[in-house]
Amino acid sequence: MDYKETIQYLYDCVPMFQNVGAQGYKEGLANTLALDEHLCHPHRSYKTIHIAGTNGKGSCSHTIAAMLQCAGYKVGLYTSPHLVDFRERIRVNGEMVSEDYVVRFVEEQRPFFEPLQPSFFEVTTALAFKYFQDMQVDVAVVEVGLGGRLDCTNIITPALSIITNISFDHTQFLGNTLAQIAGEKAGIIKTGIPVVIGETTEQTRPVFAAKASEVGTDIVFAEDEPEVLSYKSSIASGMVYQTKSLGRLKGELAGYCQHKNTNTVLTALPLLRNAGFNISDEDVRKAFAHVCGLTGLMGRWQVMRRKPTVVCDTGHNVGGFQYIVQQLRKQAAKSEKLRIVFGMVNDKDISTVLSMLPKDAIYYFTEASVKRALDAHDLMRKAADYGLQGQPYSTVSEAYQAALRDSSPKDFVYVGGSSYVVADLMAAVH
């Protein structure tokens, strides 16, 4: 098989949550442990940092990877989902795993893993951990796929654990209350491994504190002594922070949610240093200013073009949209017209997100090219109940092109609602 055939094989033969939802989720670690044993526990040959949370874990993972790269370490980075190419999930110092390596791994390991009937994520995690060993990385930054306690990444013993925040997402797997979801995320907290918690609520803080006490480890709440004192955002220059320890700090990522992620990362910095990572203040500054170039991060309030200004963002749940909506309102006030290319998948809290969106925008309802995508006509009908007006388009590319045709140079076009909408946009414009 060539690379394209190999990826299609993985999509067809091991269920992929990205495409099929619940059928692609396998609870329990039996397959992961079997694969890990078969590959001789590759993750034990390098240090790891483990990052969970409902929102922000991707931005935090990439930023920490960038800091470690700037400090001279060889850094593996494992994240999900991908936007354009499967290989985005597995990087070393920002470079994607080679097509040849993916093909070779699948060909060599198929006889072992096929009888297990693993999920896509189980195979991918095994591939990532083995690749990092073969590339002789110093450290791997590992983002949790879904939840924490039963996630296949949870076989690692990291130098540091981070949980960014908790909001409602994947409730069919993780629970219907914030406390239940926090309990699943808290499953990555391990004996003697310090943990940083980015944000809490009245319901989640006691869950994290109790878990840390139960297993016997130090817990640091980033909100208690904030590193970020103030911040300003602009589309042209990203974020500028005033911080307690570093003074003025420029961040490339421009989304309003990034001040929370920055506070989490800066709170984690002393703990990373305590764990033996030699990261200078200059390394931190360089990483924040150039995180996308260093790590390949895409889709975080990313400016795609000017005149009209087009921005896409992978935010896809209520927790993410509380920030996105604030930013859209600010842009609407500075633009002639706000146009929103919008689609969601069918297992999200669609009604609450629709109720948050600005009513004075023109909508281009669409659906991403995954089976979980909500039909564009259904979305349009649901949106009308919340005073949102627009037309349906069967593909993201069609919706985006229609928005561009309708726009004047001073309009603002936002593309989002789902990571998969952003993925289809990226595929259409690349």
Read off the CATH number of the domain in which 28 is found. Answer: 3.40.1190.10
DSSP-assigned beta bridge partners for residue 51: 143, 162
Give the residue from 279, 295, 311 where a domain finishes: 295
State residue 22's pLDDT score.
44
CB 197 within 8 A of CB 166: no
The answer on 245 and 350 residing in a single domain is no
Spell 174-205 as b/e; 16+ CB within 10 A means b: bbeebbebbbbbbbbbbeebbbbbbbbeeebb
The answer to whether the pTM exceeds 0.85 is yes
C-alpha 396/C-alpha 378 separation (Å) is 15
C-alpha 116/C-alpha 113 separation (Å) is 5
The answer on 282 and 375 residing in a single domain is no
Length of the chain: 430
The answer on 327 and 281 residing in a single domain is no
Residue 33: CB atoms within 10 Å: 13
The answer on 314 and 287 residing in a single domain is no
C-alpha 163/C-alpha 190 separation (Å) is 12
CATH of the domain at 334: 3.90.190.20
Spell 291-302 as b/e; 16+ CB within 10 A means b: bbebbbbbbbbb
The answer on 268 and 123 residing in a single domain is yes
State residue 317's pLDDT score.
85
The answer on 383 and 283 residing in a single domain is no
The answer on 211 and 317 residing in a single domain is no
The answer on 206 and 332 residing in a single domain is no
HEC letters along 365-425: ECCCCCCCECCHHHHHHHHHCCCCEEEECCCHHHHHHHHHHHCCCCCEEEEECCHHHHHHH
State residue 430's pLDDT score.
76
Domain residues for the domain of 57 are 3-295
DSSP 3-state of 211:
helix
The answer on 242 and 316 residing in a single domain is no
The two structure tokens encoding residue 422: 């952003």
The answer on 374 and 402 residing in a single domain is yes
C-alpha 162/C-alpha 143 separation (Å) is 10
Give the residue from 295, 329, 355 where a domain finishes: 295
The answer on 420 and 334 residing in a single domain is yes
Give the residue from 239, 272, 295 where a domain finishes: 295
| Domain count within the chain | 2
DSSP 3-state of 128:
helix
The answer on 197 and 163 residing in a single domain is yes
Pairing assessment for the beta strands 302-305 and 309-312 based on DSSP bridges = antiparallel
Tens place of pLDDT for every residue, the chain, 430 residues?
Answer: 999 999 999 988 775 544 444 444 456 799 999 999 999 999 999 999 999 998 899 999 999 999 999 999 999 999 998 999 999 999 999 999 999 999 999 999 999 999 998 989 999 999 999 999 999 999 999 999 877 888 999 999 999 999 999 876 544 555 578 888 899 999 999 999 999 999 999 999 999 999 999 999 999 999 999 999 999 987 667 899 999 999 999 999 998 889 999 999 999 999 999 999 999 999 999 999 999 999 999 999 999 999 999 999 998 788 889 899 999 999 999 999 999 999 999 877 899 999 999 999 999 999 999 888 999 999 999 999 999 999 999 999 999 999 999 999 999 999 999 999 999 999 998 7
